[in-house]
Amino acid sequence: MNKPKPKLSVAIIGAGIAGLSCATRLQALGLQVQIYEKSRGPSGRMSTRNGEGWSADHGAQYFTARDPLFIEELNTWIAAGVAAVWHPRLSVYEASQWRESTSNESRFVGVPAMNSPGKFLAKNLSIEFNQTINQIFRKDEKWFLQSLENGAITQSFDYLVLALPAPQATVLASSIDHSITELCSSVNMQGCWTVMARFAKGVNMSFDAAFINNETISWMARNQSKPGRTGQESWTIHANPQWSQQWIELDKEGASAQIIKCAEKLGLNCQNAEVSIHRWRYASGAINLEAGSILNEASKLGLCGDWLNGGRVEGAWLSGYQLATAINASQNF
Ligand SMILES: Cc1cc2nc3c(=O)[nH]c(=O)nc-3n(C[C@H](O)[C@H](O)[C@H](O)COP(=O)(O)OP(=O)(O)OC[C@H]3O[C@@H](n4cnc5c(N)ncnc54)[C@H](O)[C@@H]3O)c2cc1C
């Protein structure tokens, strides 16, 4: 009798939406998958900050769904109650004038928090959290990993996937694959300073969210206008990418003061607000790549993530899915 072929094993570094999507698809295709994530929880930049009696989405604010594959996935999230459409009163600030947004794009959010779809996917996957992978190497056709917290990881893997922002992938791949390192280094990822302001009493504004042009800030949104949010009213304010990048090394107090000053100029009075700030070193950026992911079939090293596919949530999910499909096809040769 023929023995069943052993399952090929894949290590994925990063439990953002790209890594989770790649892992889910690989597992469904019958491969054995292990994810390593440096944070305490899944979902990466689709993230939510929780405090006492308040929460705020401080990374991705909403996502769109245009590709049929992603729409199908989104429908499973909606059916599971972890995502929903968001209908904000949306304004635009341009040339010192306010106007209502005329966009009729459908916008979706995680429910009750932006990290809910990630948590939903993570439930069916094997993930080790608090594992910052700081070294990878290949020996005898296998991948070996090492983590900052725990040293050498005992299991070895047939394939390795880096589901990381380009600069973090560059650090890991630099000693392994020159062409991948060069490609990663060509991506100009920009940071983002994010202020979360919470208010004891509701704030009277004529919009729930606003796109702001040519100012220090580029976006503000009332978290409680999104479905499923409870607790104290909180606003998320993003500084614009160019300003953020220019001032990325500023101290938190300095950055916060500039951002609040701009928000107040635009009508959000933060004098009685409690304010927190977060610095995203790698918030956005992408290269134009038709494939949407990379697989080096010789070294069995794959890369996925938003920066390989348009720089947003939908592209990140698709990138992970596409890479999983490519790995599955390559192992059949
Ligand atoms: C401020 C901000 C606003 C945004 N707004 C929007 C928006 O409105 N709409 C939209 O569609 N997109 C938005 N985005 C972009 C969106 O969040 C990303 O496109 C998407 O979440 C990226 O997913 P990813 O899996 O590619 O990467 P990530 O989510 O960054 O996942 C990478 C994961 O790898 C982990 N990791 C990193 N290094 C290591 C290591 N050495 N070892 C182990 N783990 C590691 C990280 O902790 C992280 O969990 C925004 C992003 C930010 C930051």
Q: Which residue has the tokens 């983590």?
A: 147
pTM over 0.85: yes
Per-residue pLDDT of the chain (333 residues; tens, 9 = 90+): 566 677 899 999 999 999 999 999 999 999 999 999 999 999 999 999 999 999 999 999 999 999 999 999 999 999 999 999 999 999 999 999 999 999 999 999 999 999 999 999 999 999 999 999 999 999 999 999 999 999 999 999 999 999 999 999 999 988 888 888 888 888 889 999 999 999 999 899 999 999 999 999 999 999 999 999 999 999 999 999 999 999 999 999 999 999 999 999 999 999 999 999 999 999 998 887 877 999 999 999 999 999 999 999 999 999 999 999 999 999 765
Among 110, 101, 62, 313, which residue's Cα sits nearest to residue 210?
A: 101
What DSSP designation does 7 have?
A: P
Q: What is the pLDDT of residue 1?
A: 56
CB of 222 within 6 A of ligand 1: the answer is no
Compute, in angstroms, the gap from residue 188 CA to the centroid of ligand 1.
Answer: 15
* Strand pairing class (151-152; 107-110): unpaired
CB of 168 within 6 A of ligand 1: the answer is yes
Q: What is the pLDDT of residue 333?
A: 55
Among 57, 116, 47, which residue's Cα sits nearest to residue 88?
A: 57
- Other CB atoms within 10 A of residue 142 CB: 15
CB of 306 within 6 A of ligand 1: the answer is yes
Q: Report the alpha-carbon distance of residue 105 to residue 108 in Å, rounded.
A: 10
CB of 61 within 6 A of ligand 1: the answer is yes
Q: Report the alpha-carbon distance of residue 6 to residue 76 in Å, rounded.
A: 31
User: Which domains, from first to last, does the chain contain?
Assistant: 9-47+120-187+289-331 (3.50.50.60), 48-114+188-284 (3.90.660.10)
Residue nearest to atom 48 of ligand 1 (CA): 44
CB of 107 within 6 A of ligand 1: the answer is no
Q: Report the alpha-carbon distance of residue 114 to residue 72 in Å, rounded.
A: 19
Q: What is the pLDDT of residue 139?
A: 95
Q: How far is CA 214 from the centre of its chain?
A: 25
Q: What is the pLDDT of residue 183?
A: 86
Q: What angle do CA 197, 211, 277 make, to 5 degrees?
A: 25
